[in-house]
Chains A and B, each alone.
Chain A
Amino acid sequence: MDLTFSPEQESIREAVRSVLADRIPAPRARAELAPDPGLWREAATLGWFGLGLPEAVGGAGYGLPEETILFVELGRSLAAGPWLGTVLATHALAAVPALREDLAKAVGGGTRVAVVDDPADELGDATRPSGTVRGVADGDVADVFLVLGGRRVRWVLARGGGVRVAVRESLDPTRRVADVSFADAAAELLGAEASSLRRTALVLVAAEALGIAERTLEASVAHAKTREQFGRPIGSFQAVKHRCADMAVRTEVARSIVTFAAVALRDLEPGAPRHAQQAKVLATSAALANGHDNVQNHGGMGFTWEADAHLFLKRAWLLEHAFGTRTAHLEALAAPWRAG
């Protein structure tokens, strides 16, 4: 049993972090908020989209724990772009030997994929989906929609017939959302299992949320050490210090369950589906609460557009609404107790 990061994993983290730091200047709010094509190309060159795929299909040969490292960093830097959909798509495509060309293109950064999450099959589960799904993250920049139904996984070209994308004003300026409507659209059925991809998605969204929790904790601590009032750093006051301590506890809780869930899912442990949901619940809770506290800790500055604090909180809300809210997951987790 070992839940520490190996030197190799640490070097993945360092590499990802330094690329993102170069590409995404802080404060974030002054920067270009749309996806950066240069970053996307560099990510493809560095193999980020195939990090968790076997080498035999063009991946780096790592697994979900290493992919969570990537997504923690993406969360920390508020990177814009359809990262999650594209990584999930490579997993879905890798399961189908006939689609090696599509896989190579996606791993190479040539396909941007947004996820349409439809667990209740409101689009129908046939090969020609019909209906509308709201709040599709990065729906406006997608080349392809990966439609996750109750059981099936479908691949729908965004610019094919029968697909309409209506961009909505997003709560989060760094991640756009869209309503995606299908009217008898042509879809290709992939062999992958929706439930398995959804569990991977839960852990990766949780990882991104963990990144938000980490970064807001660090920002609050840095501010509390330097900002002075009444002639002393505000971090010396228990009210501020204790709020920072609570942020640290939430972060540690989130980090532990996300790591545990990633390893459990990789190793097909029996508790893995439960842990994936728990990771999503606890990591988004940490991101939301830390995001809120971080605004508070920065006082008046925290309420401005100029400071980054609001961006982390807003991203946390998008993550909360990705792949099921806390309420939905907790009720699902309690369902076995309620049966019979």
Chain B
Amino acid sequence: MEIRFSAAEEAFRTDARAWLEANVPRDRRPVGADLAALRDYDLAWQRRMFEGGWAGVSWPREYGGRGASLMEQVIWYEEYARAGAPEVTTTFVGLNHAGPTLIACGSEEQKAFHLPRILRGDVVWCQGFSEPNAGSDLASLQTRAVIEGEELVVSGQKIWTSFGNVAEFQELLVRTDPEAPRHRGISWVICAMDSPGIDIRPIKTLTGDQHFCEVFYEGVRIPLRNVVGRLNDGWRVAMATLGFERGTAFLSEQIRLARRVEDLAALARSVPGPRGGRAIDDDELARRLALARAEVDAMRAMTYRSVSLAVRTGVPGAEASVIRLFFSELVQRIDLLALDILGPAAVERRVEGPGARWADAYLGGLSQTIGGGTKDIQRNIIGERMLGLPR
């Protein structure tokens, strides 16, 4: 047992740190409604990483990635967060989901066309999985695709498509065999977002921003060669990459959370407390801050354990769902603590000043226990798959 990294891994860290220090953009990432500006910013950064040889750290070298080991990925994401490098949002689906799916299940032609474009930062991908009646129960999705000659003709509706309005491509799950058992009649297809018959409508969320979209499909024609994997085998294709590249990418979020606890402690030293003095002088707030840091440290330990188990066994373990659930609820505890520390300033939504930042974080954090499977579904998964409790 060892928590130190090897000399070779530390050398990798030195390289990563040096490159990030020299290359992380100094201009601030655009915030607010201008998604096109956000997209441009993210793609420019992606291009820079590509030119520096740091695009797709977890992708195999033969597809242009860095081919980093799991331990190197841990180090990369730690350094990425440490350097204050941009959060991965518009490029997330391409890099961490669609790309790895194509690598695992795509044809040579699909890989040759799409993978370099994702890595170079030429394109944005979005996800077309959820539907109004297929959220937590994704396999009940109803968007239909009928084969006509060499094409699929798609009709239906998707929802919660992040950045659908600034994306070129979509990983789209459609029902190609309505007679088959529900997991068997689904196909995973590449959909060009500029296809005729696609209507994209932004959804304003409770934070006020509009990066979520509803996407409507009316007779949208998609070439059959855009099916990834086999026809009607889309469920397996979709599940193939819910593995580890997401696990390590997640580390950056964890480290950002650790930094937020430190920021919050600094804030608590500067704002008044509920009974006079500073907020940090209040025993309860101080204890909650100490507990938050303990839980953040425990989460890093959990992730390290999980990564080292994966290195040993070659597969991600069931504890990944534990980490996910714990993280999502920890974020919310920390957001709530922030508002309690802020006191009256919590209700002001100023653009400048600490109040706006934390209130926005709190509101945005409400989605943590909804997106990608609600906390209820996560508890079902832990109960059934990890503990073996009956359905």
Interface residues of A, Cβ cutoff 8 Å to B = 1-6, 9, 65, 221, 224-225, 232-233, 235-236, 238, 240-242, 244-246, 248-249, 252-257, 259-260, 262-264, 267, 269, 271, 274-275, 277-278, 281-282, 327, 329-331, 333-334, 337-338
Contact = CB atoms under 8 A, between A and B. Distances in A.
Given A3-B304, A263-B2, 7 more contacts: A4-B309, A236-B389, A257-B294, A257-B298, A275-B297, A278-B293, A282-B298
A219 B41 CA distance: 53
Contact of A244 (B1, B5, B307, B383): B383
Given A1-B308, A225-B388, A225-B390, A330 B287 contact: yes
B382 interface: yes
A253 B287 contact: no
Interface stretch (B222-230, B278-286, B364-372): B278-286
27 contacts: A1-B9, A2-B2, A2-B311, A221-B387, A225-B389, A225-B390, A236-B389, A238-B379, A244-B387, A245-B380, A249-B325, A252-B319, A256-B301, A256-B304, A257-B297, A260-B297, A260-B304, A267-B2, A269-B3, A274-B297, A278-B294, A278-B298, A329-B290, A330-B290, A330-B294, A337-B280, A337-B289
Interface residues of B, number: 53
A337 B291 CA distance: 13
Nearest to A327: B287
B154 to A, nearest CB: 35
A188 B195 CA distance: 85
Find the residue from A65, A271, A275, A330 having the highest chain B CB count within 10 A. Answer: A330
The 10 residue pairs across chains A and B that have the minimum distance between CB atoms: A260-B301, A241-B383, A333-B290, A256-B301, A334-B286, A235-B389, A278-B294, A245-B382, A245-B379, A256-B302
B238 to A, nearest CB: 24
Given A1-B304, A225-B388, A278-B297, A334 B289 contact: yes
B212 to A, nearest CB: 27
Nearest to B383: A241
B286 A1 contact: no
A2 B297 CA distance: 16
Interface of B: 1-5, 9, 71, 74, 265, 268-269, 280-281, 283, 286-287, 289-291, 293-295, 297-302, 304-305, 307-309, 311-312, 319, 322-323, 325-326, 376, 378-380, 382-384, 386-391
Contacts of B383: 235, 241-242, 244-245
B312 A4 contact: yes
A191 B379 CA distance: 50
Contacts of B71: 1
Contacts of A2: 1-2, 308, 311-312
Contacts of A334: 280, 286-287, 289-290
Nearest to A262: B1
Interface majority SS on A: helix, strand, loop or mixed? Answer: helix
Contacts of B305: 3-4, 255-256, 259-260
Contact of A264 (B3, B294, B299, B380): B3
A41 B293 CA distance: 42
Nearest to B5: A1
A333 B293 contact: yes
B290 A331 contact: yes
Given A249-B322, A331-B283, A257 B301 contact: yes
A253 B309 CA distance: 15
B3 A260 contact: yes
A245 B379 CA distance: 6
B390 A233 contact: yes
B380 A337 contact: no
Contact of B376 (A242, A259, A282): A242
Nearest to A247: B387
A267 B2 CA distance: 8
A280 to B, nearest CB: 10
B3 A246 contact: no
Contacts of B289: 334, 337
A281 B298 CA distance: 11
Nearest to B311: A2
Given A65-B1, A281-B294, A337 B390 contact: no
A238 B390 contact: no
Contacts of B378: 245
Nearest to B289: A334
B322 A5 contact: no
Nearest to B281: A338
A338 B378 CA distance: 37
A333 B74 CA distance: 27
